[in-house]
Chain A
C-alpha cells in the first residue's frame, strides 16, 4: 500500500442551483484519516462522490493516487440473491476468491439469507465485507455507522484503524463521533457558501 494520497485544492461543490461549500483545500497522505462533519445536506456525501470521481467538482481540483473503495447508503448487492452469492460476485469482479472477513463481520451465519431480508446494520456490514474484499487503498465511508450497534461501531473503528496503519487512507463522512487515533477533522460548516 505505497503512495496513496488525496490532494484537494480550493474545491467548491454545487448541487442544482445551490453552492454547497467552497474553498476546501487539504492533503492526505498514506496512513492518514479524515472525518468530514457537518449537518445534513451540507455536502458530505457530495464531497465523497467528488473524491471518488463520480461527480464533477464545480471548481477547484482533486487529485487522488491509489484505488478507491466507496461505502454509501447503497450496498450494491442484488436484493434477490443470497448474501453469499451477492458477495461472491464482487469477489470475482475484484479477482480474489477468499472471504476471510465474514466471521469477523458476523456475516458467516447469514450467507444463505437473501439480501433483501437483511437488516440495515447487516446490509452495512455486508457492504463493508465488499469493501474489505476490494483491497482499495483509499476508503471513502459515507455514514458508515448508520444502523450499526455499539459492537459493530467498535468493529468499524478498528477496521479503519487497521487500514490506516497499513498505509491506507480513510475519509469518513459522519455526523456521529468516530473514534480513530490521529484522525483529522474537516468541518464543512466552516466552508459553507
Chain B
C-alpha cells in the first residue's frame, strides 16, 4: 500500500503546492498578506488597537485564505475520472482523501505560519501574541485543511459549488476560529488545546464524510 500512497502524495503536492492553473500555494498566501496589509489602512494607525485586534484579523484572514483553493481540491479529479480509476484499482476514496488532506495542509498550513510573521509585523503584534498565533495556527490549520477537503467533496459537481463551498465552510470553521482566536484574549493554553481538539475531530471525520460524498455523487 505504501507503494501507492507515495505517488498519490507526490501528485497532490505537485498540484496543490506548485500549482498549475490555480496558482498553487502562492495565491492564498498573497491573499492572506493583503488582508493583513489592508487592515491597518482601514482602522488607522492606532498601535494599541492594532496590537489588540491583530491576532483576530490574522485568524479571519487565514480562514478566508483556506477557502480559496476549495474548487480544485476534489472536483477536477471526479470530472477527469480519476476517482473511478482509483476505485477500479481497489484504492478507496478514504485513502485518497486522507492523502489529499495531508497534501492540502502541507501546501497551506506551513506557508501560512510563515506568512504570519510579516503579517504580525504589519499589525504590530508583540512576541508573545505572535507565539500564540503561531501555535494556534499549527493546531488549527490541519482542521481547516480537513474541513476544506470535506466541503470540497460535498459540493463537487454542484452548480456554483465553489461559492457554495465557501458559504458552507465558514460556519463549520467557527469552532476552530473561536478557540484559536480566543486563546489570544485569555492567553491560556486551554484555547489552544480546544483548537487542537476541534482539528482532530475534523481530521477524523474528513476521509469518511468525503468518501461517502464522492460515492454518493457517482451514479
A residues within 8 Å of B by Cβ?
Answer: 15, 52-55, 67-70, 72, 74-80, 89-90, 92-95, 130, 134, 136
Contacts and interface: CB of A to CB of B under 8 A. Distances in A.
A88 to B, nearest CB: 9
Given A89-B11, A93-B4, A93-B91, A76 B218 contact: no
Contact of A78 (B15, B84, B86): B15
28 contacts: A52-B84, A52-B88, A53-B87, A54-B87, A55-B218, A67-B89, A68-B88, A70-B84, A74-B79, A74-B80, A74-B84, A75-B80, A76-B81, A76-B84, A76-B85, A79-B80, A80-B20, A89-B11, A92-B3, A92-B6, A93-B4, A93-B7, A93-B8, A93-B89, A93-B91, A95-B3, A95-B4, A136-B88
A94 B88 contact: no
B171 interface: no
A74 to B, nearest CB: 3
A69 B85 CA distance: 8
Interface of B: 3-4, 6-8, 11, 15, 20-21, 79-82, 84-89, 91, 218-219
Given A80-B21, A92-B6, A93-B89, A55 B81 contact: no
A51 B16 CA distance: 33
Contacts of B80: 74-79
User: For the complex, would chain A's binding face be called helix, strand, loop or mixed by DSSP majority?
Assistant: loop
Nearest to B7: A92
Contacts of B85: 70, 76, 90, 130
A69 B87 CA distance: 10
Contacts of B219: 15, 55
Nearest to B81: A74
Contact of B7 (A54, A89, A130): A89
A15 B219 CA distance: 8
Contacts of A95: 3-4
B84 A54 contact: yes
A77 B8 CA distance: 13
A56 to B, nearest CB: 8
